Structure 1
Amino acid sequence: MMKSHRRFKELGSIFVASCGAFLLSACVSLGSKAPISLLTLSSDAAVSPGASKIGMPKDALVILVPEVPRKLDTNRVPVQVDAGNIAYLKNSVWADKPAILFQQLIAETVSAKNGTLILSEVETSGKAEHFLSGQLVEFGIDSAAMEAIVIFDAVKISKGKPVEKRRFQVREAVAQIEPGDAGAALNSSANKIAAEIANWLAAN
């Protein structure tokens, strides 16, 4: 009887251990396959903690989500293989769509560098008079040139003033076409453009 009881406990322990291993394997990759890299953009010019800005809604700047071509309307990183072919970078995705990440980066950079009050259209209750919009034309890797490339056609709109459009472009070398290098180069390129946009807005 004692032997049967002991055997039952041993089987129970094995069952619990097996269940634990199964649950762990469901959450954590234990194989040799590399996990997917989750890429994002981070601003080099961050707003200081506790910083505040006060202004009228009509004086705030609304930064709209850029329009994008179809190849950028995805969480994946496009790689221009040649003039007529596009692939996507393996084992990597953006944390959000590039247009949204780029909008957030510009907002953070302009707010930090220029001290601008930036609000959404909802927050201005439809009273906004100053907008920054545009199209994110390129945001990926040129494999032939081994470069990250970011092209943004910015459009500045202020009530009572002519509309102004300007193209911003940055290319940055990548040592390898892989998630780490690609993500770092695109983040650096995006930050350079965001800083140029901040200077452009401050000069007007």
Structure 2
Amino acid sequence: MNSINKARVLFAAAIGLGLSGCISLGAAEPPESLITLSSTAVAPAGSGAETGSEGSVGAIAVLTPETPAKLDVLRVPVNVSDTEIAYLQEAVWIEKPARLFRRLLGETLRVRGGALVLDSDDTPILASQFVRGTLIDMTFDAPSGSVVVRYDAIRTNADGVVTSRRFEAREDGIAPEAVFVGPALNRAANTVASDVADWVLSGE
């Protein structure tokens, strides 16, 4: 093996060792704890809403977002490069991200607008507005050391007008460990949920 090829092998090995402690391409031992999303906006006990009252925005149905395959799992995806995805070791969601984000957005809308929000799996027959979309990313990006939450929202109002908008939040300087990535994803998801709630309630 010549010196150039030897250098390439050593470089590849170093990269592999650097990532091997943080991400996994296969099965791993169960984590000691699970991660979830918790809303920074929580409706107090006894609060409620109704439709038909003066100033009411009507019932809002929040539907479970679509997701790409990388998010349709209980693991936290890691963008290793533009063409490679792995999963962060010890970072396991208590429930799939799409359902967690749906409830987070529903709670944020409930608190921010005082609206009657339907965010369960029951058919939202009473809703006058619908919020759906695609949760594109809830991911750790290894090259930039950041977490990214990206959501393409689609709003249908009471008149049947459909509007879409992309929302994104990012936190940089995050170490590739579950203890740091989990809280950072929660903060970013709350930022996106707050921005989506403002957009839905404003009617813009």
Determine the C-alpha separation between the residues in 2 that align with 1:122 and 1:84.
38
List per-residue Cα deviations over 1:148-184 (Å, max 9, x = no partner). 0010000001232421000001110243101011001
Gaps of 5+ in 2: 1-28
1:85-96 equivalences in 2 (<5 Å): 85-96=84-95
**Contact 2:174 2:184 (8 Å CA) reproduced:** no
Deviations along 1:66-100, one digit per CA (max 9) or x if unpaired, are 00001100010000001110000101210100000
- Does the 8 A contact of 1:41 with 1:187 survive in 2? yes
Rg bigger for which structure?
A: 1
Q: Structure 2 vs 1, CA of residues 86 and 123 (structure 1 numbering), >3 Å: closer, same or farther? A: closer
Shift of the alpha carbon at 1:127?
3.6
**Counterpart code for 2:122:** V
Question: Would you tell me which structure has more helix in proportion to its own residues?
Answer: 1
Q: Which runs of 5+ in 1 are unaligned?
A: 1-32
Aligned length: 170
Secondary structure of the equivalent of 1:79?
strand
Contact 1:36 1:92 in 2 (8 A): no
Opposite residue 118 of structure 1, the aligned amino acid is V
Please report the RMSD computed on the Cα atoms of aligned residues, expressed in angstroms. Answer: 1.9
State the identity %: 38
Structure 1 consecutive aligned stretches of length 4 or more whose deviation exceeds 6 Å: none
- SS of the residue corresponding to residue 137 of structure 1 reads strand
Relative distance call for 1:111 and 1:90 in structure 2 (3 A) is same
Report the CA distance between 1:35 and its aligned residue: 4.1
Residue in 2 aligned with 1:75? Answer: 74
Q: For residues 173-188 of structure 1, what are the structure 2 equivalents within 5 Å?
A: 173-188=172-187
Amino acid at match of 1:109: T
How big is the shift at 1:123? 6.0
